[in-house]
Structure 1
Amino acid sequence: MTEAESPFPSSATEQPIVLVVEDDSSIRGALRRLFGTVGQQVQTYGSAAELLQSELPDAPRCLVLDIRLPGRSGLDLQAELARNGTQIPIIFMTGHGDIPMAVQAMKAGASDFLTKPFRDQDMLDAVAAALELDRARRTQSKALDRLRVRFASLTARERDVMMLATDGLMNKQIAWELGVSEMTVKMHRGHVMRKMDARSIAELVRMADSLKVRGSDPSPLQT
């Protein structure tokens, strides 16, 4: 069973939440109280297995993780989350003898690590930075999802025109490449700009870069 002061908000919420994995119940309680002083939602777990068996909240989140745990270690959990494709900033808590392990964790993408005993403000600052990082990731992910939906609305010919236009070809060159009239290219290009909601060719180029469709197979919907 996990410990929490209140249940998770609904999955659609944007209320940030701090997840804590620590086998020492006194430390779990102290962290829950610390985060509560700044109004942060908290969910605590006694082991890596408990977290892996739980549904993580669909909200800005970060993980405060002890590097030494019974069963799966903090490093094992970090690796497992990466294999599962779970993106979450991780702040490791380490003992003085765990610095080499902490360096390994940072190389594997950890957001920060704090050596026990740490100052409360250092932990609050690390969590605030990690939550902001996750907010930015979620914003980027949602924007990319919207781009993919727009791109999916293009016809095959419109995708061809978009790829060639964002590679720098002029309408006449695109017409030659596709074996169609320049007027047809202009029509398709107008459809592309409207469907992609692009205000300029420069903006369309940025969209194509985000979708990874410039000069490559125009099928980014499963990436």
Structure 2
Amino acid sequence: MAALASAGGHGISLLPATRPKGGSLSMPTPTVFVIDDQEAVRHALGEMLTVFGFSVETFGTADLFLKQLEPERTGCVVADVRMPGTDGIALTRELVRRGSTLPVILISGHADVPMAVAAIKAGAEDFIEKPVDDMQLVAAINRGLARAFERLDTQRSLESLNSSFARLTAREVEIFDLVVQGFTSQAIAAKLELSPRTVESYRAQVMEKMKAESVAVLVRQAVRLGRITP
């Protein structure tokens, strides 16, 4: 691996990627999971990543990692391609199958183009040849963590939106759908045989429950919920 002293001249951030500022949802502290059947490699990578400020856990096999992995864990996987039992590419496929948000960076001392292509097709974030360059690996981990945070934010934001929508009554859902389709309160009143004042009351309740400060926000929410197509 490249000497740590060379870190300053590459023009990239050496700090672990953090949750994007401005998000409203809390994120667990991410961990870099290093998986390699060679103890010397695990130790070297673990020490280097710890120096760069990452929280690190190491595993000798992918099978042991998968057995102990808790679904809510966040972070990034750095795994060798060739290992006894489940190899790095099979590990990547299994994480994708489980719906894991963990990005995977595969490393190999016997890399070739077909292997790299197979790794990316399996869902790997990046593919790096051994001996591993510290800066290249840190940059890849930071990119992976940044994308993972974005996916988690999007996922949790949608879950929150679905939760708000589920609180609407059947009548409020009717009002919601008509408002986002562009119907005025007068038109909704005529369509549902309600008074305009009643429609305005329902509309205000919908806006409050959905935490929408404008009709434009409500329309964007409807698109995300699949109630209308953009």
- Does residue 78 of structure 2 align to residue 51 of structure 1? no
Q: Distance in 2 between matches of 1:78 and 1:63?
A: 9
Question: Equivalences for 1:1-223 in 2 at 5 Å?
Answer: 14-56=28-70, 58-214=72-228
Change (3 A) 1:34 1:194: same
Q: Percent identity?
A: 38
Q: What 5-or-longer segments of structure 2 have no aligned partner?
A: 1-25
Give how far 1:145 is off: 2.1
Q: Distance in 1 between matches of 2:71 and 2:116?
A: 26
Gaps of 5+ in 1: 1-11, 216-223
**1:101 counterpart SS class:** helix
Query: Partners in 2 of 1:197 and 1:88 — Cα distance?
Result: 31
Q: Which sits farther off after the overlay, 189-198 or 200-209?
A: 200-209
CA contact (8 A) 2:37 2:60 kept: yes
Distance 2:131 2:181 in 1: 55
Identify the range of structure 1 (105-114 vs 28-37) with the bigger mean alpha-carbon deviation. Answer: 105-114
Shift of 1:97: 3.5
Aligned-CA RMSD value: 2.1
Mapped partners of 1:19, 1:95: distance in 2: 19
Task: Note the alpha carbon deviations across 1:98-135, whole angstroms, 9 max, x for none.
Answer: 43122122233321111112211111111111112222
Following superposition, the deviation at residue 42 of structure 1 comes to: 0.6
1:5-52 alpha-carbon deviations (Å, 9 max, x no partner): xxxxxxx87222101121111111111001110121111111121111
Return the TM-score normalized by structure 2: 0.80
Q: Structure 2: how far apart are the matches of 1:70 and 1:91?
A: 18
In structure 2, the residue corresponding to 1:192 is in which secondary structure?
helix
Quickly say closer, same or farther: Cα 1:69–1:188, change in 2 above 3 A.
Answer: same
SS in 2 for 1:20: strand
Equivalent residues, number? 204
